[in-house]
C-alpha cells in the first residue's frame, strides 16, 4: 500500500473531450485517483471506458490527437502537468515517467538497433556521453533478463520475438530510472505464457527499484496478479476503487461483480455458466440518465438509478459510484470467490 507521504501522481476531476460528428464528446468525465509512491495501481475497464485516454491526457498526449482537457488537474511529484508546455513535459516523459504500450513496434524504430534507441533516451535526458549511454542501455537490457545483453543491444527490433520486443520496450522505459512506469495494456497482445513472464518481470523491477506502476488493462486476472490498488472505470467515469484484496473479496459495484461473474475461470470455479452482462456500453454521445451502467444492471431500480447523476462516495477503504451501495453490499459480497 502507498505510504503516508504525498502521492506521486494525483489526478483530480480530469475531464477530456474529443471531437466527433456529434460534437465534442466527453470521453473522460471528472476522473480522480492517486498513485502513491512504491505503489502499483491498476486501472481496469473495457473498451469505451476511457481508461487509456485518462492516462494519455495525464501526460499531455491527447492534444496531438485532437482532444482537449476541459477540466481537472494532474500533479506529478508536486508539479502540475495540465497546461505544462510541451518542452517541459517532454523532459518528464521518458525520464521521470516511463511508458510501455500494447504494441512494442509503436515505440521501436525498425531502422535503429535497440541499443542505439535506448542509449538515445539516456543521452537525451541525462546528457550522458555516448559510451556511458551505451553502457546504461546494455544494463537496462540486462535488467529485463535479455541474455547476452551486450551483443543483443546491437541487433534490430525485427530480430527479436514479440515477447522479447516487449522486454526491450520495458528496458527503454526504465533506462532512466523513472519514478512512475505507465503501462497501457502491455500484455494484451501476448500469449499467456509470455504474459506471465512479463508480469513477473514487472513485479521484480518494481520491487528492486521502488518505482510506482500505473497499469491499464481489461483483464481482471492480470489485475489480481499485479495490482495493489484497483480503479474500475465504466462509461468515462470511475465506478469503483479499492485495495486489491477488498475489491475481489467484496466488490461494491454491480459492474465489477458482473465482470467477475462473466469470466470463464470464475464461472468454472463456481460451477455455473458465465453470467453475461447483457447489452453493450452506451455510446459517448448518448449516456443514459442517472447511472451509466443502469440499462445493463440486474439490480437497477427506477428512480434512484435512472434520474440524477451519481457521485463517487467513500465506502470502507475505497470508493463506489452506485445508488444502491448499502442494499447491494451483502448480495454482491456473497457472489464472490469460492475459497481456494
Partner 1 sequence: MSVKPCLRVENLHVSYDVGSAGFLGGRRKLHAVNDVSMEIAAGETLGLVGESGSGKSTAGLAILRLIDVASGTVRLGETDVAGANRTELRALRKRMQMVFQDPYSSLNPSMTVAQLLEEPLVVHADVPKDERRSMVGRMLESVGLHAGYAARYPHEFSGGQRQRIAIARAMMLHPELVVLDEPVSALDVSTQSQILNLLKKIQGDSGTAFLLVAHDLSVVRLMSPRVAVMYLGEIVETGPSGRVYDEPAHPYTAALISAVPFPDPERQRTVHRIILGGDLPSPMSPPSGCRFRTRCPFVMEICSREAPPKVAVEGGGVASCHLHAHGPKLGGRSLVGFMKDRQLVTVE
Partner 2 sequence: MSATTVEAAPAVSLPPVSTFFQRFCKNRTALVAAIILLIIVLIAIFAPYIAPHDPARSSLRNILKPPGAMYWFGSDDLGRDVASRLMFASRLSLVASLQAVAIALVIGMPLGLISGYVGGWVDTVISRCNDALMSFPALILAVVIVGLMGPSLTNAMTAIGLVYAPRIMRVVRGSTLSVREEVYVRAARATGCSDARIITRHVLPNVTGPLVVQATVLMGQALLAEAGLSFLGLGTQPPEASWGAMLGTAFPYMAQSPVPTIAAGVVISVTVLCFNLIGDGIRDSVGRMRRSGD
CB of 260 to partner 1, least distance (A): 6
Number of neighbours of residue 125 by Cβ within 10 angstroms:
19
Q: Which of 84, 128, 150, 263 binds partner 1 (CB under 8 A)?
A: 263
Residue ranges in contact with partner 2 by CB under 8 A: 275-276, 278-280, 298
Q: Does residue 169 bind partner 1 (CB under 8 A)?
A: no
DSSP letters spanning 40-104: EEEEE--TTS-HHHHHHHHTT-SGGGT-EEEEEEEEETTEE-TT--HHHHHHHBTTTEEEE-S-G
**Are 226 and 36 within 8 A, CB to CB?**
no
Q: Does residue 43 bind partner 1 (CB under 8 A)?
A: no
Q: Does residue 277 bind partner 1 (CB under 8 A)?
A: yes
**Are 49 and 238 within 8 A, CB to CB?**
no
Stretch in the footprint of partner 1 (CB under 8 A) among 2-10, 101-109, 128-136, 262-270: 262-270
Q: Which of 21, 85, 111, 192 binds partner 1 (CB under 8 A)?
A: 192
User: Cell numbers 494484451 correspond to what residue?
Assistant: 188
- Report the residue number, 64 or 264, with the smaller CB distance to partner 1: 264
Q: Which of 46, 132, 139, 142 binds partner 1 (CB under 8 A)?
A: 46
List the x/- string, 2-41, binding to partner 1 by CB under 8 A: ----------------------------------------
Best CA proximity match to 282, nearest among 272, 292, 291, 290:
292
3-class secondary structure, 26: strand
Q: Does residue 170 bind partner 1 (CB under 8 A)?
A: no
Best CA proximity match to 230, nearest among 309, 320, 332:
320
Q: Are strands 68-76 and 79-80 parallel, antiparallel or unpaired?
A: antiparallel
Q: Does residue 270 bind partner 1 (CB under 8 A)?
A: no
Q: Which of 308, 309, 331, 337 binds partner 1 (CB under 8 A)?
A: 337
Q: Does residue 288 bind partner 1 (CB under 8 A)?
A: no
DSSP letters spanning 276-291: PPPS-PPPTTSPPSS-
CA–CA gap between residue 251 and residue 136 (Å, rounded) = 43
Q: Rule CB under 8 A: which residues touch partner 1?
A: 46-47, 145, 161-164, 191-197, 199-200, 218-225, 227, 244-245, 248, 258-260, 262-268, 273-278, 280, 337, 340
Amino acid at each position: 500500500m502507498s505510504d503516508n507521504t504525498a502521492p506521486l501522481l494525483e489526478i483530480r476531476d480530469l475531464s477530456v473531450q474529443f471531437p466527433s460528428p456529434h460534437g465534442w464528446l466527453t470521453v473522460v468525465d471528472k476522473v480522480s485517483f492517486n498513485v502513491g509512491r512504491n505503489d502499483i495501481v491498476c486501472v481496469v475497464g473495457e473498451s469505451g471506458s476511457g481508461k487509456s485516454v485518462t492516462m494519455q491526457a495525464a501526460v499531455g498526449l491527447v492534444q496531438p490527437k485532437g482532444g482537449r482537457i476541459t477540466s481537472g488537474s494532474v500533479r506529478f511529484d508536486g508539479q502540475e502537468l495540465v497546461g505544462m508546455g510541451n518542452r517541459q513535459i517532454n523532459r518528464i516523459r521518458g525520464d521521470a515517467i516511463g511508458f510501455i504500450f500494447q504494441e512494442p513496434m509503436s515505440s521501436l524504430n525498425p531502422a535503429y538497433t535497440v541499443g542505439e534507441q535506448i542509449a538515445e533516451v539516456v543521452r537525451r535526458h541525462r546528457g550522458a556521453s555516448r559510451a556511458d549511454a551505451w553502457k546504461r542501455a546494455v544494463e537496462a537490457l540486462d535488467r529485463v533478463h535479455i541474455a547476452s545483453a551486450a551483443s543483443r543491444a546491437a541487433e534490430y527490433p525485427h530480430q527479436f520475438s514479440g515477447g522479447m520486443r516487449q522486454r526491450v520496450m520495458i528496458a527503454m522505459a526504465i533506462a532512466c530510472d523513472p519514478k512512475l512506469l505507465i503501462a497501457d495494456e502491455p500484455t494484451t497482445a501476448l500469449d499467456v505464457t509470455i504474459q506471465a513472464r512479463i508480469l513477473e518481470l514487472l513485479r521484480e523491477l518494481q520491487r528492486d527499484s521502488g518505482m510506482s506502476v500505473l497499469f491499464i488493462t481489461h483483464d481482471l486476472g492480470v489485475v489480481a496478479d499485479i495490482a495493489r490498488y484497483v480503479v474500475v472505470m465504466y462509461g468515462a467515469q470511475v465506478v469503483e476503487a479499492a485495495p486489491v484484496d477488498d475489491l475481489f473479496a467484496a466488490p461494491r459495484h454491480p459492474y465489477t461483480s458482473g465482470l467477475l461473474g462473466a469470466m470463464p475461470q470464475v464461472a468454472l470455479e463456481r460451477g455455473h455458466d458465465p453470467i453475461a452482462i447483457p447489452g453493450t456500453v452506451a455510446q459517448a454521445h448518448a449516456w443514459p440518465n442517472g447511472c451509466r451502467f443502469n440499462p445493463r444492471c440486474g439490480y437497477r431500480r427506477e428512480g434512484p438509478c435512472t434520474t440524477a447523476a451519481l457521485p463517487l462516495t467513500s465506502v470502507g477503504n475505497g470508493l463506489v459510484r452506485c445508488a444502491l451501495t448499502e442494499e447491494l453490499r451483502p448480495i454482491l459480497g456473497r457472489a464472490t470467490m469460492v475459497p481456494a
